[in-house]
Amino acid sequence: MKKVFLSVILISILNSLSSQPWQPAGEKIKTSWAEKIDPANPLPEYPRPQLVREQWQNLNGLWNYAFAKQGSGMPVEFDGSILVPYPIESSLSGVQKRVGENQELWYHRTFSVPSAWKNKNVILHFGAVDWQADVWVNDVKIGRHQGGYSPFSFDITPFLQKGEQTVTVRVWDPTDRGFQPRGKQVNDPNGIWYTPVTGIWQTVWIEPVEKAYINHLKTVPNIDGGNITVLPSLENAMPSDIVEVKVLENGAVVNTGKAAAGQEVLVPVPDAKLWSPESPFLYDMEVVVLREGKTVDKVKSYFGMRKISTARDENGVVRMQLNNKDYFQFGPLDQGWWPDGLYTAPTDEALLYDIKKTKDFGFNMIRKHVKVEPARWYYHCDREGVLVWQDMPNGDQSPQWQRWNYFNGQELKRSTESEQNFRQEWKEIMDLCYSNPSVVVWVPFNEAWGQFKTEEIVEWTKNYDSSRLINPASGGNHYNTGDILDMHNYPGPVMGLYDSKRVNVLGEYGGIGLVLQEHLWEEDRNWGYVQYKNSEEATNAYVELAEELQKLIPFGYSAAVYTQTTDVEVEVNGLMTYDRKIIKLDEARIRKVNREICGSLSK
């Protein structure tokens, strides 16, 4: 009776809180997309473009939240409403409060399962929750997920009841007081380190499935063999189940392949249209699970036929190749932060905007820097045609950093728990992007940030996904392993080391700073690696650095990354302001020199 009484009180409190209006919190700068958010239906787009089912229900919107002392248990009362999926420290959450390592953040909301889903299993999905999340449905704890960047889900069918359902989430995130991957988040933001992000920051949703269903697809193109392999991960499958994969081009079936459950499906794709930034052609795909000839589950997906590899050119320099041709990759360091949503773009249109502007600037690549994006971001990269280098977000501590020679010091020794967590989160991040043609390089470490067991982690990464290149440590510490040697230098390009056996890249350079009033996160702590007074000066400096880079390409550089896409908090070295309202440099001039660099290895 006590539990029932508390539930009645809780529902009363929730109904009261849910009627409270939402508005962005705080006085920080915001993007223009902040005004377009519908608090009744934020981020309404389907969240998983590579595994699509027709029926689903979005659980984004106003939830109730509470802070509680760590370990104190589920709160009886809640503090107010929060707009999910914007992190609680963000303006768009409507809260903009810090949590810290000594508190837990609790979420709660009610929802209803559509009557049309009767006799279906219901899956509860979280796009990402930073960092440790425990989930209850109808007061029954159903599971825990640890990892701030990857999706996770639970089959909640056994825990559903008649009428209204409740979901409760407890989150704990120690930020830089813990060992977990956290990227640029710190408790004391300054310089290149930014505001902490805690809790739900990607879409929450439910979908109906049959008893046996597909929960993941791994698709690998083979342009040399003229085929693709598809490995579906199935739940509750029987050995006699058959998986059928159809490849379609503009609605017409190209070919079909079949295999028993648990086996790879091989599908011929003759005379394939190849995917590239210049021609980002995508094939559609249908995957069906058959049991005794009847369809048990069906999903829609897509893929691109592309190959990333290395080869020596006529001068003996190891080059990156795209679709068996030398191809210079050039793009910005993209941190993926927003002044109003922090980790979460205010809208899907905003998420797409940065990618489209990257292409407008004349780049063909993005280095996603120590952050992971929602699945829709990689979908947009696939559609727009931009290559992606995906970093593993850094965590734990930083050992000694050596930039200009191969490392001869003592690597970081992680605890067993820290190491196991790193491997788990890195695997889940790779699973998220495994089938995206845009993703061509994995970057497990950056500048010795949390770098440990480098050779072992690189080998483990390569064994898990041999279809992509591995950049072991962007900027060092350097080991003779992986496919790439990556140098960092600010502001101008230099070649501090050269490796005759691997691809040589300039993983970071630039950092041209320009302060624009009315578009600043703070007024008095702004900085760039070099500062200029106006757009003309900054553009001239950009072009000069680009021309220096061009001179180094014949001597071995095969890719470069310019810092950076946008200003981020007190960093003012972006091509755009943090609010995305001003393009700071002359777009036509930087596009012209960027296109010359991108085409420098084309024949």
Catalogue all structural domains in the chain, each as residue range(s) with its CATH number.
2-209 (2.60.120.260), 213-303 (2.60.40.10), 328-598 (3.20.20.80)
Angle among Cα 334, 339, 342 to the nearest 5 degrees reads 70
Tell me what pLDDT residue 5 has: 36
Tell me what pLDDT residue 388 has: 98
How is 455-482 classified by DSSP, letter by letter?
HHHHHHHHHH-TTSEE--EET--B-S-S
Using the structure block, give the residue that is written with the tokens 């805690």.
198
Both tokens of 326, joined, read: 């030398």
Tell me what pLDDT residue 16 has: 43
Both tokens of 581, joined, read: 């309202």
Closest CA to 565 of 345, 361, 397, 374: 361
CB 561 within 8 A of CB 331: yes
Both tokens of 201, joined, read: 């920051």
pLDDT digits (tens, 9 = 90+) for 77-112: 999 999 999 999 999 999 999 999 999 999 999 999
Cα distances from 185 to residues 84, 335, 394, in angstroms, run: 20, 11, 10
More confident site: 21 or 102: 102
pLDDT digits (tens, 9 = 90+) for 483-539: 999 999 999 999 989 999 999 999 999 999 999 999 999 998 898 899 999 999 999
Where b means 16+ CB within 10 Å and e means fewer, 348-368 reads bebbbbbbebbbebbbbbbbb
State the pLDDT confidence band at 36, using cuts at 50, 70 and 90. very high
Q: Which residues pair with 126 in a beta bridge?
A: 152, 204
Element (H, E) at 428: helix 416-433
State the pLDDT confidence band at 6, using cuts at 50, 70 and 90. very low
pLDDT more than 70, % of the chain: 97
**Radius of gyration in angstroms for the set of CA atoms belonging to the chain, rounded to a whole number:** 24
Instruction: Quote the pTM value.
Output: 0.95
Closest CA to 309 of 474, 506, 505, 470: 470
CB 420 within 8 A of CB 207: no
Q: Which residues pair with 111 in a beta bridge?
A: 165
Q: Which residues pair with 231 in a beta bridge?
A: 218
510: left (phi over 0), alpha (psi -120 to 50) or beta: left
Can you say whether the dihedral through the CA atoms of 73, 76, 77, 83 is positive or negative? positive
Cα gap 257→230, rounded to integer Å: 9
When pLDDT is averaged across residues 274-300 and rounded to a whole number, the result is 97
Give backbone dihedrals phi and psi of 259, rounded to 5 degrees, phi first. Answer: -160, 160
Tell me what pLDDT residue 403 has: 87
Q: Does residue 132 surpass a pLDDT of 60?
A: yes
Using the structure block, give the residue that is written with the tokens 């795909």.
285
Cα distances from 156 to residues 18, 55, 161, 444, 466, in angstroms, run: 24, 16, 10, 34, 35
Angle among Cα 566, 82, 433 to the nearest 5 degrees reads 50
Tell me what pLDDT residue 399 has: 86
Both tokens of 379, joined, read: 């979908």
Closest CA to 488 of 508, 504, 468, 469: 508
Tell me what pLDDT residue 20 has: 61
Strand 140-146 versus strand 61-69 pairing type:
unpaired
pLDDT more than 90, % of the chain: 93
Q: Which residues pair with 58 in a beta bridge?
A: 205
Give backbone dihedrals phi and psi of 281, rounded to 5 degrees, phi first. Answer: -80, 135
pLDDT digits (tens, 9 = 90+) for 328-364: 999 999 999 999 999 999 999 999 999 999 999 999 9
When pLDDT is averaged across residues 355-380 and rounded to a whole number, the result is 98
Q: Does residue 9 surpass a pLDDT of 50?
A: no
Q: Does residue 2 surpass a pLDDT of 90?
A: no
For residue 527, with 0-12 CB atoms within 10 Å meaning exposed, 13-18 middle and 19 or more buried, which class applies? middle
State the pLDDT confidence band at 8, using cuts at 50, 70 and 90. very low
Q: Does residue 139 surpass a pLDDT of 70?
A: yes
Strand 165-172 versus strand 132-137 pairing type:
antiparallel
Q: Does residue 158 surpass a pLDDT of 80?
A: yes
